[in-house]
């Protein structure tokens, strides 16, 4: 196509002169980034001494044109409205680094909202993050149960990332390549540099990496390899609740019993005597039916896949406060109810929302997605004491059920055989006192063999 000259018959307004880039508005900086981190160990828990911390947040689109107090009251509900009103009035909450005249200050696009508070973190287990392997690119760790991977919610320094940073230096930046839920323990990969982290993350995404979990479940699990192909549907995004449903996303898991340990005693026993089951175990029915240790090979990676498939098979994880809770799922615990004919989704959601005080607190400890419900009811877990510095209501220490789920990431290995990492069995998977049983697992050949025709990528 020939180029022709266009006559200048139309005049245009001159272009506005570009303004030089301006520095961002001054914001409050964190007044305290304690180093070394204020950890201390007490009563089997890793604690963080309370410290001042400033959150800096750019105005989100949904905040534009809204009053500052309204934003805090609806978006940040871990403290009462009176706290935020007082924080704004005394300057602990600022906009663009400056106090605002009233709590009804209107937030605009581009504003930076800063909130300085006296931060209280929940304690986590004092067990160390053990190293399974380390080279110049990667660290393979055995994550303890009860420790979140990243800072989130009320957890900051009590996270895998920050604990490892505290051990290796303030400027060191650990890069997790796979994610485990807070209460799940086991094998995790921490990249030492972005290229290594990206390479392994892509391998995991491409499903050329096999992973094996081990779980402690209710009752005697069947012999042989058990393949569960039931699809999984999220029935409540707000509660993070999933169940087997025909119209869900495809999911496949291979299970194989490692051991079965029969009931300690057929009769419920009191928990205050030695060598007797705990009250919690009696409550969950373990005293009368025993439990199994089950190996799990997830072929797909759906949310709560292992927990949901084990529940459907009639053998939920024994200390799972959601999927092993009869007050939510009924006497059959949701087993073999793919069409929701026994209990509708609405029934399940309603029962979960109405659980009792301790059950709610125990249950929500497993789900980041259940923060809303937790914020509404967590006051029932308060100690009744106030912080001397900020007058914030203080929590009681977490119970055992809030620190561990009997689900462990046991092994990761390349399907081509170039590498494999195996952690020791967790204590809850070892034979109980006075009983014989396996203390380690073999290879994954039998698990892989059960699905290699349908899933050759993991063979």
| Residue whose C-alpha is closest to residue 215's, from 334, 313, 335, 282 | 313
The token pair at 15 is: 């272009």
Domain hosting residue 302, numbered range: 208-409+422-458
**Is the same domain home to 310 and 436?**
yes
Q: What is the mean pLDDT of the chain?
A: 84
CATH number at residue 440: 3.30.2350
Cα 352 to Cα 354: distance, rounded to the nearest angstrom: 5
Q: Is pLDDT above 80 for 376?
A: no
229 is catalytic: no
Q: Tell how far CA 95 is from the center of its chain.
A: 32
Q: Is pLDDT above 90 for 443?
A: yes
- Kindly state whether residue 142 falls inside one of the protein's structural domains: no
Which of 119, 145, 178 lies at the terminal end of a domain, its last residue? 119
C-beta of residue 447 within 8 angstroms of C-beta of residue 256: yes
C-beta of residue 301 within 8 angstroms of C-beta of residue 265: no
Q: How confident is the model at residue 318 (pLDDT cuts 50, 70, 90)?
A: very high
- Kindly state whether residue 15 falls inside one of the protein's structural domains: no
**Is the same domain home to 215 and 110?**
no
At 71-97, the pLDDT tens digits run 999 988 778 899 899 999 989 999 998
- Give residues with Cβ within 8 angstroms of 98, minimum separation 6: none
At 178-227, the pLDDT tens digits run 989 999 999 999 999 999 999 999 988 887 899 999 999 999 999 999 99
Which of 80, 104, 119 lies at the terminal end of a domain, its last residue? 119
**Is the same domain home to 281 and 430?**
yes
Q: Is pLDDT above 80 for 23?
A: no
Mean pLDDT of 6-10: 38
**Is the same domain home to 307 and 436?**
yes
**Is the same domain home to 398 and 291?**
yes
Query: 236 pairs with which residues across the strands?
Result: 241
| Residue whose C-alpha is closest to residue 400's, from 239, 272, 278 | 278
- Kindly state whether residue 24 falls inside one of the protein's structural domains: no
Which range (30-34, 139-143, 244-248) has the least confidence? 30-34
CATH number at residue 70: 3.10.290.10
Which range (8-17, 42-51, 65-74, 309-318) has the least confidence? 8-17
Tell me the pTM: 0.80
**Is the same domain home to 235 and 350?**
yes
C-beta of residue 435 within 8 angstroms of C-beta of residue 263: no
C-beta of residue 118 within 8 angstroms of C-beta of residue 390: yes
Q: Tell how far CA 200 is from the center of its chain.
A: 21
Annotated catalytic residue within 181, 320, 337, 362: 181
- Kindly state whether residue 20 falls inside one of the protein's structural domains: no
- Kindly state whether residue 23 falls inside one of the protein's structural domains: no
Cα 353 to Cα 153: distance, rounded to the nearest angstrom: 21
- Kindly state whether residue 436 falls inside one of the protein's structural domains: yes
Specify the pLDDT at position 288.
64
Report how many domains make up the chain. 2
Q: Does 36 sit behind a cis peptide bond, omega within 30 degrees of 0 on the bond before it?
A: yes
- Kindly state whether residue 35 falls inside one of the protein's structural domains: no
Which of 83, 104, 119 lies at the terminal end of a domain, its last residue? 119
- Kindly state whether residue 226 falls inside one of the protein's structural domains: yes
Q: In 10 A of CB 190, how many CB atoms? A: 24
**Is the same domain home to 78 and 214?**
no
């Amino acid at each position: 196509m020939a180029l022709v000259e266009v006559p200048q018959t139309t005049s245009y307004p001159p272009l506005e002169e570009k303004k030089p880039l301006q520095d961002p508005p001054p914001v409050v900086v964190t007044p305290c980034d304690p180093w070394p981190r204020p950890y201390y160990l007490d009563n089997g828990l890793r604690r963080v001494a309370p410290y001042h911390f400033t959150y800096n947040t750019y105005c989100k689109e949904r905040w534009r044109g809204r009053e500052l107090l309204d934003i805090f009251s609806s978006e940040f509900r871990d403290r009462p409205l009176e706290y935020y009103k007082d924080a704004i009035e005394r300057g602990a909450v600022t906009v663009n680094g400056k106090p605002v005249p009233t709590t009804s200050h209107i937030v605009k696009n581009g504003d930076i909202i800063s909130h300085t508070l006296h931060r209280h973190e929940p304690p986590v287990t004092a067990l160390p993050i053990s190293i399974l392997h380390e080279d110049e690119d990667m660290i393979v760790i055995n994550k303890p149960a009860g420790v979140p991977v990243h800072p989130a919610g009320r957890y900051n320094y009590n996270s895998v990332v920050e604990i490892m940073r505290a051990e290796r230096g303030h400027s060191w930046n650990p890069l997790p390549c796979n994610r485990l839920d807070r209460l799940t323990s086991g094998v995790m990969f921490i990249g030492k540099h972005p290229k290594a982290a990206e390479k392994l993350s892509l391998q995991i995404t491409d499903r050329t990496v096999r992973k094996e979990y081990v779980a402690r479940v209710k009752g005697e699990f069947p012999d042989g390899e058990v393949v569960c192909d039931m699809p999984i549907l999220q029935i409540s995004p707000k509660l993070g609740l999933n169940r087997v449903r025909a119209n869900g996303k495809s999911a496949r898991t291979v299970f194989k019993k490692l051991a079965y340990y029969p009931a300690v005693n057929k009769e419920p026993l009191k928990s205050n005597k030695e060598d007797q089951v705990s009250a919690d175990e009696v409550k969950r029915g373990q005293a009368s039916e025993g439990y199994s240790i089950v190996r799990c090979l997830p072929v797909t990676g759906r949310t709560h896949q292992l927990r949901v498939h084990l529940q459907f098979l009639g053998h939920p994880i024994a200390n799972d406060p959601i999927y092993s809770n009869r007050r939510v799922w009924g006497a059959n615990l949701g087993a073999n109810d793919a069409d929701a004919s026994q209990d509708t989704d609405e029934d399940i959601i309603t029962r979960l929302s109405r659980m009792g005080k301790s059950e709610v607190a125990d249950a929500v400890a497993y789900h980041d997605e259940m923060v809303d419900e937790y914020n509404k009811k967590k006051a029932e877990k308060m100690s009744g004491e106030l912080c001397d510095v900020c007058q914030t209501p203080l929590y009681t220490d977490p119970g055992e059920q809030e620190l561990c789920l009997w689900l462990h990431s046991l092994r990761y290995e390349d399907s081509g055989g170039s590498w494999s990492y195996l952690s020791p069995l967790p204590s809850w998977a070892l034979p109980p006192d006075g009983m014989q049983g396996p203390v380690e697992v073999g290879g994954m050949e039998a698990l892989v063999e059960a699905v290699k025709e349908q899933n050759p990528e993991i063979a």
